[in-house]
Each structure stands twice: as C-alpha cells, then as structure tokens.
C-alpha cells in the first residue's frame, strides 16, 4: 500500500497493539494516526474504547469525535459512560442526533430497538429507478450510514417493500420502484430480543433487517455488522454459563477482581451447598463404608463418570436450543435418544471398569476376596449413573426453558452436582443388592 504521511502509524498496526497499551499510550498513539485514516480507526474501536479516548481528549476535540458517530453508536458510547458524564456527552451532539439518541436510550440494550440505527435509505414506490438512484446519492451525502437496501415507504412511513442496490442497478432505468421491489419483507419489532434478531441474520444471510412498530411503520434498521458482535457476546455468555458462573459481560482482564469474584462465588456457593447433600447421602451409607472400605475407592470414579456424561448431554442440548435446532416439543425425542446413548455409553464404561478391577485383582490382589462382586457392583452402577447423567443432563435445559429460564443456566457443573448425589444413591443401592451376605 502507498504511504500517505512521512511517519504515520498504520491504523491496523495500532489496532493490533491496542489491547496491550495503557490509557495514556492509547491517547498518544491515537494523535499520531494520520488525519485521513483517524476517522476509520476511531469508528473501528468498541464503544468503551471510544469513550476512553473521548474522555481523555481536550473538551474542544470531544465534539468532533462524538459527532462522527451514527446515533446508535453514540448511544453505545453514552451507555458505556458513568452516569455523571452522560448528559455532557449527549450535549456534544447536534440537535437532531441528540433527539434520536434520547429516543434510542429508552430501548433496552439487548432488544432490536437498542441495536437499530434510525437513519436508513428510503425511496417512494412511484419513483423511477433512475430517480431512486439519484435520491439515494443525495441521502448518502447527508447522514445515511448504509445504502445496501433502500426501503420503500408511503407518506405515512408504512413499509411497503425493499429494493437492494443490486436490484436498482440491474433494473432498466425507466421502470418504477414498486415494479422491482420485494414485498415479502422480514421485519422485527423494537422489542425483539437481540438473540432472535441474530438468528434471522444467520438464517437468511441479510445485510440489514428493518425494525417496524405495531402498525408496520418503519423505525430504523439493524445491520449485520452489529450482529457479528452480538453473536460473539451471546456465545460468550452461554460458554461462561456452561462453565458454571454468571456471564462476565466484559473481557477477562478488564473486569475488576472483586466483580469477577462475585460472579464466580455466587454459583460456586450454590454448587457447594448442593454438594453438601453428598455428605448427607454418604452419612446414610457410613456403616456400609465401614464394613466394606473397598467400596469407597470407586466413589470418585463413579460420580465423575455420571457428571461427565451429564455435562456432555446438557452442553449439546443447551447449544441446540440456543440455535433453535431443537425445540421444546422435541423433548420426548431427545429423552429417548439420550436414554439410548446413556445405555450404550454406560455399558462401554461399565465393561472397561469391570476389566480394570479384575485385572488389578489378578495382578496385585488389590480388592480382597469379593473382588468379582465388587467389580460387577461398579460396572452395573456405571450403567445406571451414566444413564441418569445423560437423561437428567438433557432434560434439565428443557425444564428451565419451559419455566422461563435461560437453559444455559443449567450449567454443566450444576448437572454434575445433581448427578453426584444421585450417583451415590445408585452406587450404594446396587452394592447393597449385589454384596448382601458377602461384604455387607
């Protein structure tokens, strides 16, 4: 690429180094970005990064950068700011944008209304193709951010159809817009959840989706570039919940230590209190353990196998529900499938477990005179525990969704805890049947 300035900082180089820089280094380097590309660089930053720069710059410069932002992006910056500076940031905007920003601030951040840009390209149905193209040129010269689709509106702002730029370019110049527009438009409303909006994008491969109110009056557009971010965020939230904690909502190294501790301690405590039931359960079997200490050797093996198989099942179903690959009404299908999977997986593990115990017994006489019965106790318990794991792991997300919770909260460790307690009961019940009269 040709170099524009004698000693410029290349925006993409600075972008790479950005996470490693301190606030002051960021501000200093930003000042070295050549004027011609500084705008693009600034726009490529996330809202909290833009805020950091704006607050560090001289008050006279703030206005320039705030006004560079589209209304929806300006709102993101304002929302990232502490309450006491929000009004002063809004004050930097021009009158019209400030009004739009105020309206957008009223929407929840996670709804289509909070993602949408109120400025979009519009045309009238009775325009000719050539008129529409020059009208679009005029609109981009003013403030419209994206012109990939032009929305066809009547005089009351009702959405009649949509034409892509490609269609306008392909059509013969004398035709009317309403002869080439698509009428079957996929729309969302202002309170559509951002996860639902991102599904529409990944299903249809759109560049933008219009947001309409109850009377089909057009309010704005959501564009696909905002959605890539949303998809990443939603996936991160789900992964963190599957990992057994509250979603952090910010990069790991940027979250304060105490805030992070709080998000982790909460769930850890819930799981700990749940696991205390294992101590209670074990208490009931204390006598059996005293009589047959050999039984205790396999407790970690058995409960963790149940936990692992449950964690697989719950992860699969959480993700399938999130991507709408599996629906609530499929629960019975899933239950049968997971019961069969649990039987198969449990039988495999059970056989390996039996072989292991008999082998050690043959080699080292590790497990006393009743080793064969102990081996079958462990083997059979594994079948039962793994089946219980896959079944409860796969059903818990359905139950949570049914009662209105996020299935991702049925995190893998939560299932593991549930399975631990039941696993102990299964193990000692099997043992009391097989080992009665022998060890017990």
Q: Which of residues 122-161 bind a second copy (CB under 8 A)?
A: 136-137, 140-141, 145-148, 160-161
Angstrom distances, CA of residue 325 to CA of 206, 322, 329? 20, 8, 12
11 binds a second copy (CB under 8 A): yes
User: Which residues, numbered 183-242, are part of the site for a second copy (CB under 8 A)?
Assistant: 183-186, 198, 201-207, 224-229, 231-232, 235-236, 238-240, 242
Residue with tokens 């932002």: 69
Class of residue 347 by CB neighbours under 10 A (exposed 0-12, middle 13-18, buried 19+): middle
Under DSSP, the state recorded for 240 is H
Q: What are phi and psi of 38, to 5 degrees?
A: -60, -40
Q: In this complex, which beta carbon is closest to a second copy, that of residue 102 or of residue 372?
A: 372
User: Which residues, numbered 409-438, are part of the site for a second copy (CB under 8 A)?
Assistant: 412-413, 416-417, 420, 424
Report in angstroms how near the CB of residue 251 gets to a second copy at its nearest. 4
Which positions from 37 to 76 touch a second copy by CB under 8 A, shown as an x/- string? Answer: x--x--xx--------------------------------
Q: In this complex, which beta carbon is closest to a second copy, that of residue 102 or of residue 135?
A: 135
400 binds a second copy (CB under 8 A): no
Q: In this complex, which beta carbon is closest to a second copy, that of residue 275 or of residue 406?
A: 275
Under rule CB under 8 A, how many of the chain's residues touch a second copy? 130
Q: In this complex, which beta carbon is closest to a second copy, that of residue 110 or of residue 233?
A: 233
Residues near 355 by beta carbon (within 8 Å), at least 6 away in sequence: none
Class of residue 87 by CB neighbours under 10 A (exposed 0-12, middle 13-18, buried 19+): exposed
Q: In this complex, which beta carbon is closest to a second copy, that of residue 65 or of residue 206?
A: 206
Q: How far, rounded to the nearest angstrom, does the alpha carbon of residue 154 sit from its chain's CA centroid? A: 37
Angle of CA points 103, 405, 389, to nearest 5°: 150
Report in angstroms how near the CB of residue 302 gets to a second copy at its nearest. 9
Q: What are phi and psi of 208, to 5 degrees?
A: -155, 155
Nearest to 390 by CA among 423, 427, 357, 435: 423
320 binds a second copy (CB under 8 A): yes
Q: In this complex, which beta carbon is closest to a second copy, that of residue 101 or of residue 242?
A: 242
Q: What is the DSSP string of 97-160?
A: HHHHHHHHHTS-TTBHHHH-BS---EE-TTSBHHHHHHHHHHHHHTT-S--SEEEEE-TT-BEE
User: Which residues, numbered 249-308, are part of the site for a second copy (CB under 8 A)?
Assistant: 251-254, 257, 260-261, 264-265, 267-269, 271-273, 275-276, 278-279, 282-283, 286, 289-290, 293-294, 296-301, 303-305, 307-308
Q: In this complex, which beta carbon is closest to a second copy, that of residue 3 or of residue 60?
A: 3
């Amino acid at each position: 690429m040709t170099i524009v300035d004698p000693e410029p900082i290349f925006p993409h180089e600075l972008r790479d180094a950005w996470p490693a820089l301190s606030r002051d280094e960021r501000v200093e380097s930003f000042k070295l970005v050549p004027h011609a590309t500084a705008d693009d660089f600034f726009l490529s930053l996330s809202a909290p990064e833009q805020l950091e720069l704006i607050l560090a710059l001289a008050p006279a410069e703030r206005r320039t950068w705030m006004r560079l932002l589209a209304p929806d992006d300006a709102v993101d910056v304002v929302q990232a700011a502490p309450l006491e500076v929000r009004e002063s940031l809004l004050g930097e905007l021009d009158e019209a944008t400030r009004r739009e920003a105020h309206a957008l601030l009223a929407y929840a951040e996670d709804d289509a209304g909070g993602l949408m840009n109120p400025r979009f390209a519009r045309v009238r149905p009775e325009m000719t193709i050539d008129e529409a193209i020059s009208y679009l040129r005029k609109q981009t010269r003013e403030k419209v951010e994206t012109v990939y689709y032009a929305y066809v509106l009547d005089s009351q702002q009702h959405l009649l159809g949509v034409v892509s730029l490609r269609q306008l370019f392909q059509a013969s110049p004398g035709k009317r817009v309403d002869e080439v527009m698509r009428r079957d438009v996929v729309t969302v409303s202002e309170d559509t959840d951002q996860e639902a909006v991102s599904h529409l994008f990944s299903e249809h491969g759109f560049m933008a989706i219009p947001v309409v109110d109850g009377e089909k009056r057009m309010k704005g557009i959501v564009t696909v570039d905002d959605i890539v971010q949303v998809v990443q965020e939603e996936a991160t939230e789900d992964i963190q919940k599957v990992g057994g904690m509250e979603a952090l909502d910010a990069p790991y190294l940027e979250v304060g230590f105490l805030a992070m501790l709080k998000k982790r301690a909460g769930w850890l405590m819930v799981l700990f209190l749940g696991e205390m039931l294992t101590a209670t359960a074990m208490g009931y079997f204390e006598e059996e353990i005293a009589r047959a200490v050999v039984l205790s050797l396999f407790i970690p093996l058995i409960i963790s196998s149940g936990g692992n198989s449950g964690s697989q099942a719950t992860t699969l179903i959480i993700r399938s529900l999130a991507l709408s690959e599996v629906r609530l009404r499929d629960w019975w299908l899933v239950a049968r499938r997971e019961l069969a999977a649990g039987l198969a997986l449990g039988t495999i593990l059970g056989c390996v477990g039996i072989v292991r115990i008999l082998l050690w017994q043959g080699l080292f006489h590790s497990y006393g005179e009743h080793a064969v019965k102990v081996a079958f106790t462990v083997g059979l318990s594994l079948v039962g525990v793994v089946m219980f794991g896959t079944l409860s792991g796969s059903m818990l997300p359905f139950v949570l969704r049914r009662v209105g919770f996020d299935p991702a909260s049925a995190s893998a460790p939560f299932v593991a805890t549930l399975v631990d307690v039941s696993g102990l009961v299964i193990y000692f019940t099997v043992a009391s049947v097989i080992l009665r009269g022998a060890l017990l």
